[in-house]
Structure 1
Amino acid sequence: MTNEQLFWQTAASDPHRPAVIVDGGGTTTYGELAETANRLSNGLRARGLVAGSALALVLPNRLEFIALQLAAHQIGLYVVPVNRHLTAPEVGYILGDCGAELVVADSTTAPTVAEAAELAAISPKVLYGVGDDAASLQTYHELLGAAASPDDRVAGSMLFYSSGTTGRPKGIRRPMSGLSPEDEQGRIAQWARAMNVTPDGVFLSVGPLYHAAPNQNMMMTLQLGHTVVVSSGFDPEHALGLIQRHAVTATFLVPTMMHRLLTVPAERRNEFDVSSLRTILHAGSICPVATKRAMIDWVGPVLVEYYGSSESGATTIIDSASWLAHEGSVGQARPGMAVRICDEHGEELPPGTPGLIHLKSGVVIEYVGDPNKTASSYQDGFFVPGDIGYLDEDGWLFVCDRRTDLIISGGVNIYPAEIEGELLQHAAVLDAAVFGVPDDEWGQRVVALVQLRDPGADRAVVTESIAAHCRDRLAAFKFPRVLEVVERLPRTAAGKISRSRLRDSYRSGRSG
């Protein structure tokens, strides 16, 4: 496949190639998917959407999500993926904030969307539902227009919303490129090759498509002629079964997913053939060194990590061989991009000194309706995501933690991610979260909450075993002053824990 053989060319030259396999559903070919996308493009235009309009999708992982995104991307629309687990007021805020001109839901989200639209003063005439049981909304099939390729094609863009862990979520709007869909997709395909995603493979998509990384990695592989296997969620053994059944060559995982895969007993894991895997992309949060090393030992040197943000995009990259030589690094800056480490005043720090990470990707985003936040997020053209890290002498970046999650105890900086990484290496621990709470003597003390693999285990015995494990591996000032077992630690579908929310919940529970 040449560099020019992207989604639309593949649909024309090889229309019978499988494009999307929905887990538990059917298979759609490239020709069928392209025709549906064309029909949706014409249907959306017929309903008044023009370049720059916002199309909101409140959908689970399903074929219609992908078809609508492809349609929007060839007529210059902003696609706004909305977390389908949000409440009506939360969805209503996003719909109003982005100025959604058309909204698509399905039976699982239709009631929420209808209520949200009313709260946002959005006409029910622009609400559409996929499936017969989304009867309260106009039907998705009404959006299907003529099958011909639309005129005046121009690339669209994404408008993702932040998770809102520190207040209302913010819309992250990237400027339109003004390129043709093919030229825009060519840039995406070039990035795919840099991440060792080779043409004509099978990509397993297990993350939620409303989240930036799973969405963009899925769409990226369609540009290389992949067959995309779409799962509604992540279960370790089910994912292993899908890899074996479909001979998956590439996938995207967050560190939590990798940890869950490793909790499957080795003898059970080895029952699944994962030898087809050529690339495992990962990002989204700090990956414990031991977890990544164990993954490489199991599946081979196929992991490719990148670091960035929804605002900056992927700014650094590192393959398995480089990581083994620089354990813990998230890579070096990609060509044409830059990373620097600065103090709170914007002064650049020397190698080996932790400070605020600054990323330069060549793209400057805007936060919808918040020019002050947009301006304060950049320094000299560098985006400042709020992470703490350092560069070594050779320019390899190491991420310590979020600035907002940093614990300062007795005047010493403590990074929760480091402690969580050690807790996760204990055989009894399924999940862990570490945060700081006020302490009259030390300023802050370290609190660790753990979820056990065996909920029926003797908590007192296991807690002492975990404590002994930590004493052997952590300096005394990092040792959790509080270590508690909880039934469950809430993670987002993207695999992230909001330590700030856990901290607030923990403190309110102790004061109540």
Structure 2
Amino acid sequence: MGPTTDWPTRDLLSHRAAATPQRTALIDVATDRTWTYREFDHRVDAVTTALEADSGERLGILIDTRPAFATLFFAAMRRGVTVVPLNVRETTRELATKVERTGLESIVCERDTEAAALDVADAVADGGPPSIRSVDEPGDERTQSLAVAHEDHSPTHSADAAAVEPAPLERDDTMLVMFTSGTSGDPKGVRLTIGNLVASATASAFRLGVGPDDRWLCCLPTYHMGGLAPIVRSTLYGTTAVIQREFDAEDTARVLERFEISGVSLVPTMCKRLLAAGWEPSDALRFVLLGGAPASSEFLERCHERAVPVYPTYGMTETASQIATATPAETRAHEGTVGQPLAFTDVTVVDDDGNVRGAGDTGELVVSGPTVTPGYLEDAHTDAAVTDRGLRTGDIGRRDEDGRLWILNRRSDRIVTGGENVDPGEVIDALRSAPGVEAAAVVGLSDPEWGERVGSLITPDGAGNGETLEIRSVLDHCEDRLAGFKQPKTIAVVDSLPRTASGTVDREAARARVLEDGVDITDLP
């Protein structure tokens, strides 16, 4: 008897193409093109070969949601290279810092991000500029073509077509480095292994179920875990990922109906827009995985009334997506719960000293299991977050006797706007660097569309000889320092920041002051 294994020995697509080559792998809504797993596998072979000229152990991808992202991801896995997804909405400075921290020697872009990629290459100070390749026709002579990754590329499907020998696959191989906002203004680079991704896909299947004809709509950005996870999971399951390049309420409603989508990942803002557009779910839809931001009980009740099968989920980049997910029945019977932890995931509630709390007691959530990251890029971040019990989430919550979780406070005052994480410290640093600003406070304000919006208080430094600090000039200063979703949407100028007895900023008082005296930036001249 030959050797046996209970683990994938090569990239996930290679296994899937060998098992069910005839099944549909991807559907591109924009072009109406469809690829079987055999065809997808050939595309990845072609891209893997083209990437052989690229040096380095990490590949940066600066493209938005499209099939080319999936092709590049699996080509990197086939080569044994780590993928670093880069947020197309961030500024040159933000991206350049991440390129330096990950030591990227190559970035793949698209037509819409080529100029940004070249700006990033020029801005990189440490390690030398990365090479830039585009999946579209390059618009600059400094950009090399990677046309084989374009959706129109059709590699030879003949029996003698060049195949690529996949790199050996190990559980502990780092497949992804994804950045998530920290509390100090320094985004953390999260390492996710092949084992993390497979464990997450497996546990999710146990909670959501999988059918042979499932179609998972991917309309979230693939540079976030919520957008990439459906592609990874569909490939592992042998089901179909339907890729819509940009969410639009009316268009997405039509896509859900036309393609008989059985599952979709959304943030609450997206789902609210669908409902506002008059969307009615079809019989084919089994689940709407709702994450990225808290969903109110009132909103969930609206979903129930409209027969939307919502599954509120609590997760982190550090756990390759889901930690706990509630079923529609649980959300009605246990208001506010995010459900029980997924299979193989353990969640413990601890006090400030690390002692385990009982059912109903409040404390910090600590998570352990095969989906949890082995650590961050920097050891200091890892040492601060990883304990003997598992990963400290920084989230405050409680659990009942059956293990259902409730999340009470957002992690370290982080603001979540439209599914994007905003670190208040980073925004404060940008505001304080503006001429005429002495101090700043940043808080999240409730927003009916985005969940939260960024609000801020700023104080003048007194150097203006009594002149009023101009809010518009401060906002202009922040434009090239902060991505649009991080910039304050409501701002007020005050004489001093409200503080507690210990001297720290009183966040609740600051929030009330912003609401009372703040100016909506849309009202500025």
Aligned residue pairs total 428
| Pairing 1:103-502 to 2, within 5 Å after superposition | 103-120=107-124, 126-135=131-140, 136-141=142-147, 147-154=162-169, 157-163=175-181, 166-175=184-193, 177=195, 188-189=201-202, 191-264=204-277, 268-270=278-280, 274-300=282-308, 302-313=309-320, 314-362=322-370, 363-368=372-377, 370-405=378-413, 420=446, 424=448, 432-433=452-453, 439=498, 443-445=506-508, 482=516, 486=520
Shift of 1:306: 2.9
Shift of 1:340: 1.8
Match of 1:27 among 22, 29, 33: 33
Moved more, 39-48 or 246-255: 39-48
Instruction: Supply the distance in 1 between the matched residues of 2:133 and 2:302 (Cα, whole angstroms).
Output: 46
Instruction: Supply the distance in 1 between the matched residues of 2:207 and 2:295 (Cα, whole angstroms).
Output: 21
8 A Cα contact 2:218 2:242, kept in partner: yes
Structure 1 equivalent of residue 69 of structure 2: 65
Shift of 1:445: 3.9
Instruction: Supply the distance in 2 between the matched residues of 1:434 and 1:85 (Cα, whole angstroms).
Output: 16
Match of 1:86 among 83, 86, 90: 90
Structure 1 residues 488 and 395 mapped into 2: Cα distance closer, same or farther (>3 Å)? farther
Deviations 1:251-309 (A, max 9, x none): 10112212222333xxx334xx6222112112222111111222132134x32333231
8 A Cα contact 1:106 1:130, kept in partner: yes
Deviations 1:413-470 (A, max 9, x none): xxx99x94xx74xxxx776548797546994545779xxxxxxxxxxxxxxxxxxxxx
Q: Which amino acid aligns with 1:161?
A: F
Shift of 1:67: 0.4
Quote the sequence identity (%).
25
Shift of 1:141: 3.3
Instruction: Supply the distance in 2 between the matched residues of 1:104 and 1:228 (Cα, whole angstroms).
Output: 22
Structure 1 residues 176 and 258 mapped into 2: Cα distance closer, same or farther (>3 Å)? closer
Structure 1 residues 38 and 441 mapped into 2: Cα distance closer, same or farther (>3 Å)? closer
Instruction: Supply the distance in 1 between the matched residues of 2:199 and 2:399 (Cα, whole angstroms).
Output: 31
8 A Cα contact 2:121 2:131, kept in partner: no
Instruction: Supply the distance in 2 between the matched residues of 1:406 and 1:92 (Cα, whole angstroms).
Output: 23
Instruction: Supply the distance in 1 between the matched residues of 2:179 and 2:514 (Cα, whole angstroms).
Output: 34
Shift of 1:233: 2.0
Structure 2 equivalent of residue 470 of structure 1: none
Secondary structure in structure 1 of the residue aligned to 2:318: coil
Shift of 1:76: 2.1
Q: Which amino acid aligns with 2:115?
A: P
8 A Cα contact 1:38 1:148, kept in partner: yes
Structure 1 residues 220 and 141 mapped into 2: Cα distance closer, same or farther (>3 Å)? same
Q: Please provide the CA RMSD for this pair.
A: 3.6
Structure 1 residues 118 and 235 mapped into 2: Cα distance closer, same or farther (>3 Å)? same
8 A Cα contact 2:55 2:106, kept in partner: no
Match of 1:77 among 57, 67, 81: 81
Q: Which amino acid aligns with 2:137?
A: D
- Structure 1: tracts of 5 or more residues without a match: 408-415, 450-478, 490-508
Shift of 1:114: 1.6
Secondary structure in structure 1 of the residue aligned to 2:306: helix
Q: Which amino acid aligns with 2:282?
A: V
TM-score, structure 1 normalization: 0.73
8 A Cα contact 2:104 2:130, kept in partner: no
Instruction: Supply the distance in 1 between the matched residues of 2:388 and 2:20 (Cα, whole angstroms).
Output: 47
TM-score, structure 2 normalization: 0.72
Structure 1 equivalent of residue 58 of structure 2: 54
Shift of 1:124: 6.3
Instruction: Supply the distance in 1 between the matched residues of 2:263 and 2:254 (Cα, whole angstroms).
Output: 14
Instruction: Supply the distance in 1 between the matched residues of 2:369 and 2:499 (Cα, whole angstroms).
Output: 43
Structure 1 residues 482 and 199 mapped into 2: Cα distance closer, same or farther (>3 Å)? farther
8 A Cα contact 2:311 2:327, kept in partner: yes
Shift of 1:220: 0.8
Q: Which amino acid aligns with 1:167?
A: G
Instruction: Supply the distance in 2 between the matched residues of 1:229 and 1:318 (Cα, whole angstroms).
Output: 24
